[in-house]
């Protein structure tokens, strides 16, 4: 009796096409050779019967080759698994290569939201780095002011998190700082409420202007360079250092200069 491993590939795949999922997976696990030969069949089964959840696993493991293979077999890149799409998960795990792969697909629904009213943009602002957020904002179909939970936009989230560089990116993409959430608060109102002087300067000016120039509006508010250092915003620090007088020796209320504050806040990238 011939060994199944010795069967021609065409005959092997015909037999596998008549197996249920558990039998197929058991056969694949029986030896490395069969596992390799049956991979396309396993992918197709997963896409058809398991909502393409292998794509989510590939994203989590940053396995770009597997993700690309699954997409070539028409995996559903907008399918949810535990409340996230593959793109949301790519931002969660800060996978730049995976984000690039997914963002280049025509079938991507860039504005899809989950039951918690979170979108890929929300995940990008919450987890992403500057280059990943910038790349997402380059997508022409992206709705930059799409409403999330409680009617809040990505700009609300960026202001709340103190991410100065994200605020600038969102404004340059056309985000509205006066758009109110369900409680009637706008990102501009949040910048005032949370006492963020740099953001107030950004939100009150044209985003293409030199948005870090200006005077300190309150003696009790954090100094712009100190605030940028505290939040670890390298882009903001660089822009402030281009000023004629970057105030490197200026002390805040606790007596810290910007470099002392960077050390205190464990911001080696700023130091």
What mean pLDDT is predicted for residues 126-151? 94
- Per-residue model confidence (pLDDT) at position 212: 40
CB-CB contact of 198 with 164 (8 Å): yes
Question: Which of 109, 143, 177 finishes a domain?
Answer: 143
Question: In the numeric block, which tokens belong to residue 141?
Answer: 């179909």
- Per-residue model confidence (pLDDT) at position 41: 74
- Per-residue model confidence (pLDDT) at position 218: 32
Most confident range, picked from 18-22, 29-33, 166-170, 249-253: 166-170
pLDDT tens, position by position, 114-133: 999 999 999 999 997 889 99
Residues 73 and 22 in one domain: no
- Per-residue model confidence (pLDDT) at position 63: 95
Longest dimension (CA), the chain: 88
Residues 1 and 42 in one domain: yes
- Per-residue model confidence (pLDDT) at position 23: 63
In this structure, the number of other CB atoms found within 10 A of the CB of residue 255 comes to 8
Question: Does 33 reside within a domain?
Answer: yes
Question: In the numeric block, which tokens belong to residue 89?
Answer: 């998960």
* pLDDT of 220 higher than 70: no
pLDDT tens, position by position, 176-219: 999 999 999 999 888 888 766 666 666 765 343 343 433 333 33
* pLDDT of 249 higher than 70: yes
- Per-residue model confidence (pLDDT) at position 165: 82
Q: What is the number of alpha carbons within 13 Å of residue 32 lying toward its C-beta?
A: 0
What mean pLDDT is predicted for residues 220-231? 66
Question: Which of 109, 124, 143 finishes a domain?
Answer: 143
What mean pLDDT is predicted for residues 59-83? 95
What mean pLDDT is predicted for residues 224-229? 76
Question: In the numeric block, which tokens belong to residue 128?
Answer: 């992403």
Residues 6 and 60 in one domain: no
Residues 31 and 66 in one domain: no
Per-residue burial over 113-140, b if 16 or more Cβ lie within 10 Å, else e, is: beeeebbbbbbbbbbbeeebbbbbbebe
Q: Which residue has the higher pLDDT, 184 or 229?
A: 184
Residues 24 and 88 in one domain: no
Residues 45 and 55 in one domain: no
Residues 65 and 42 in one domain: no
Residues 110 and 78 in one domain: yes
Residues 44 and 123 in one domain: no
pLDDT tens, position by position, 6-45: 555 565 555 556 566 666 666 556 666 565 666 777 778 7
- Per-residue model confidence (pLDDT) at position 127: 92
Question: Does 234 reside within a domain?
Answer: no
Angle subtended at Cα 48 by Cα 36 and Cα 23, rounded to the nearest 5 degrees: 50
- Per-residue model confidence (pLDDT) at position 31: 67
d(CA 94, CA 81): 18
Range of the domain at 112: 51-143
Share of the chain above pLDDT 90, in %: 44
Q: Give the count of domains, the chain.
A: 2
Question: Which of 143, 174, 202 finishes a domain?
Answer: 143
- Per-residue model confidence (pLDDT) at position 1: 46
What mean pLDDT is predicted for residues 33-58? 78
Q: Which of 163-167, 203-207, 226-230 has the lowest mean pLDDT?
A: 203-207
pLDDT tens, position by position, 77-100: 999 999 999 999 999 999 999 999
Q: What is the mean pLDDT of the chain?
A: 80
Residues 5 and 64 in one domain: no
């Amino acid at each position: 009796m011939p060994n199944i491993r010795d069967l021609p590939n065409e005959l092997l795949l015909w037999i596998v096409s008549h197996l249920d999922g558990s039998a197929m997976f058991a056969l694949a696990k029986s030896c490395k050779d069969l596992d390799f030969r049956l991979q396309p069949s396993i992918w197709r089964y997963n896409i058809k019967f398991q909502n393409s959840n292998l794509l989510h696993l590939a994203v989590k493991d940053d396995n770009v080759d597997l993700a690309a293979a699954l997409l070539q077999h028409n995996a559903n890149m907008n399918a949810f698994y535990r409340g996230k799409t593959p793109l949301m998960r790519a931002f969660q795990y800060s996978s730049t290569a995976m984000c690039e792969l997914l963002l280049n697909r025509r079938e991507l629904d860039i504005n899809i939201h989950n039951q918690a009213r979170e979108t890929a943009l929300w995940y990008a602002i919450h987890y992403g780095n500057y280059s990943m957020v910038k790349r997402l904002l380059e997508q022409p179909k992206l709705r930059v002011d799409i409403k999330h939970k409680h009617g809040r936009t990505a700009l609300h989230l960026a202001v709340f998190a103190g991410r100065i560089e994200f605020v600038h990116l969102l404004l340059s993409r056309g985000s509205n700082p006066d758009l109110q959430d369900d409680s009637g608060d706008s990102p501009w109102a949040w910048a005032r409420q949370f006492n963020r002087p740099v953001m107030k300067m950004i939100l009150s000016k044209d985003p293409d202007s030199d948005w870090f120039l200006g005077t300190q509006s309150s003696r009790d508010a954090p100094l712009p360079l100190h605030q940028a250092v505290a939040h670890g915003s390298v882009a903001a620090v660089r822009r402030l250092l281009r000023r004629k007088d970057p105030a490197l020796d200026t002390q805040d209320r606790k007596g810290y200069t910007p470099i002392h504050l960077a050390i205190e806040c464990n911001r080696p990238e700023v130091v």
